[in-house]
Amino acid sequence: KLVAEKENYETVELTIAADDKNKMEITKTLKLTPIECIQMLSGIVTDSETNLPLPNAIVHIYKGKELLAKIRLEADASFNYKLECNMPYRFTVALKDYHNLASEVKTSDKINEALNIKLEMESSIEFVEFREQKMIKTKTINFDLNQSSIRLDAAIELNKVIAILRKYPNLKIEIKSHTDSRAAADYNMKLTNDRAKKVIDYIISNGIDPSRVSGKGYGETQLLNNCAKGVKCSEEEHQMNRRTEFIITDE
């Protein structure tokens, strides 16, 4: 019995019946078939801010310039696809009201390795209506505890506001800064005034006409929920009240 083995190839066995009385020289060729090297990709497309799945997004999968698949996502926004080993792949994702997304991955040489990819899309919606007010849509503008300095993550969001103001030269905004209710009311008012001023200064320092930007702090006077002083609330509920709003005052 002959057995031929090699990593990443199918094993081949061959049984030979030989006559012991008659010495013979037997030559056999055993052909090894490589095992197909495949990896299973599992992906999901989500909103970068809410982390919620985005059904109806369309995913394109490319190998080089070749389009391998076009997948419209179902309710859970997940998809699966078999990829070859040792190959680069490119993914593009499109969905209404979101910026187009592109991502790349290179598979390894491990057979049947499981790959997971999360594709996070950023909303392209510029304005939202909230409490009968039109405002620029941003993620939360975060400040360090008891501070008013502009952090790097806040600057990223403020740069989006600046881009919108440049895009719409007649647009004017009022900046409203708010806190939760857990410090003294006078302190909260001063802190939000300081933060509103820092935001205004940052926007103006990036070339926006000062006549287009106004604002002030509101402290804890405009809470979005019932988390007033003396009311027991979760951190998430308090977080709702700590916010900076960019209200459209003129278009």
pLDDT in tens, 20-44: 556 666 677 777 777 788 999 999 9
Domains detected in the chain:
38-121 (2.60.40.1120), 127-250 (3.30.1330.60)
pLDDT of residue 25: 67
Dihedral in degrees, nearest 10, Cα atoms 164, 166, 170, 172: 60
What is residue 202's three-state secondary structure? helix
Q: How many CB atoms lie within 10 A of CB 247?
A: 16
pTM given for the model: 0.69
The Cα 29–Cα 7 span in angstroms is: 18
Q: How many CB atoms lie within 10 A of CB 141?
A: 23
Look at strands 78-84 and 38-47 and give their pairing. antiparallel
Radius of gyration in angstroms for the set of CA atoms belonging to the chain, rounded to a whole number: 30
Give CA 206 to chain center in angstroms.
Answer: 27
The Cα 114–Cα 116 span in angstroms is: 7
Asked whether the beta carbons of 83 and 95 are under 8 A apart, the reply is no
140-182 pLDDT, tens digit each: 898 888 899 999 999 999 999 999 999 999 999 999 999 999 9
